Amino acid sequence: MSALYTSTVVTPRRRSRTWTKLGQNTAFALGLPLLLLVIWGLWSTVASARFFPGPLVILDAFISTWIGPAFFADVLPSLGRLAIGTVLAVAIGIAAGTVIGLVPWLRELLEPVFEFFRAVPPPVLIPIVAVLVGANDLMKVVVIVTGAMWPVLLNTIEGVRSTDSVMTETARSFALTRGERLRYLVLPAASPRIMAGVRQCLSIALILMVISEMFFSSSGLGFQIVYFQRNYLIAEMWGGIVLLGLIGVLLAVIFGFAERRVLRWYHGIKEVEHA
């Protein structure tokens, strides 16, 4: 009887705490942006500047520019190239990083090469890729892949290399096959580092998507933003920048959801340690 009474009392409190925490997180997430928008709007009415139009002007240009045919002609193709490039970068980075991390001599052999190519800014490769591949959509995807795969590759190598030796010997003592050790030990142990690399990969891929469309292109978000800037369509240019920011926020939300699913065990351990 007392246990039943306790459960009926504690459950609403937990629910109320959850909703309170959700409300606080929402207020913290939206409070500062809304405050900045209000300050920006008031400032634009007092001291209007040609290159910094007010939020309402940008909103009107955003709706008239991107809500319509331009969404299908420029935004969707850009998002498609971004998605293909990101998936390929993550897949290549995880696959190559796992192999290199498991083979010590191969890792030592390739480490100087990786350090060299990691230091090369990906945008400088655009003319070379355009000559080798051609000024087409494949060139843009190749640029995204070659620039965005490095965080995933290097983090996967470090994650695989730093797998706990005691757990590895324990897995061998239980006669687990190499494939089972890879699936149940190596990749789960390296997954926190891999997801950290994927987070960096998303931001780099978005940047390279825009930069690749600024060269040898006649469509896409990057091309349109440069077109608006060159023709002094300032509000439309800011609308494109806002759209890129919204895409970045959407990618962060999707990644956060995927990370919580993949690293559920890892976050559970952290919660137990902080409890």
Select from 201, 208, 210 the least CA-distant residue to 251. 201
**Per-residue pLDDT at 128:** 86
- 269: confidence class by pLDDT, cuts 50, 70, 90: low
- Do 156 and 190 meet the contact criterion of CB atoms below 8 Å apart? yes
- 10: confidence class by pLDDT, cuts 50, 70, 90: very low
CATH of residue 71's domain is 1.10.3720.10
**Per-residue pLDDT at 97:** 92
Question: Who has greater pLDDT, 157 or 56?
Answer: 157
Q: Cα–Cα distance between 237 and 213 in angstroms, integer?
A: 15
- Do 100 and 110 meet the contact criterion of CB atoms below 8 Å apart? yes
Domain around 182: 53-274
Does a structural domain hold residue 157?
A: yes
Taking 60 as the threshold, does the pLDDT of residue 15 lie above it? no
Q: Cα–Cα distance between 77 and 55 in angstroms, integer?
A: 27
Does a structural domain hold residue 38?
A: no
Question: Who has greater pLDDT, 217 or 102?
Answer: 102
Taking 70 as the threshold, does the pLDDT of residue 5 lie above it? no
Taking 90 as the threshold, does the pLDDT of residue 136 lie above it? no
Highest averaged pLDDT of the listed ranges 31-40, 87-96, 209-218: 87-96
- Measured from the Cβ of residue 25, the count of other Cβ atoms closer than 10 Å reads 10
Does a structural domain hold residue 17?
A: no
Does a structural domain hold residue 142?
A: yes
Mean pLDDT confidence for 216-241 = 88
Residues 6+ apart with CB under 8 A from 211: 122, 123, 126, 143, 222
**Per-residue pLDDT at 151:** 92
**Per-residue pLDDT at 24:** 65
Does a structural domain hold residue 62?
A: yes
Does a structural domain hold residue 250?
A: yes
Name the domain count of the chain.
1
**Of 6-10, 50-54, 223-227, 241-245, which range is least confident?**
6-10
Mean pLDDT confidence for 254-275 = 72
**CA quadruple 231, 233, 234, 236: dihedral positive or negative?**
negative
Does a structural domain hold residue 182?
A: yes
Q: What is the dihedral of CA 167, 172, 177, 183, to 10 degrees?
A: 0
pLDDT-above-90 percentage for the chain: 29
Does a structural domain hold residue 32?
A: no
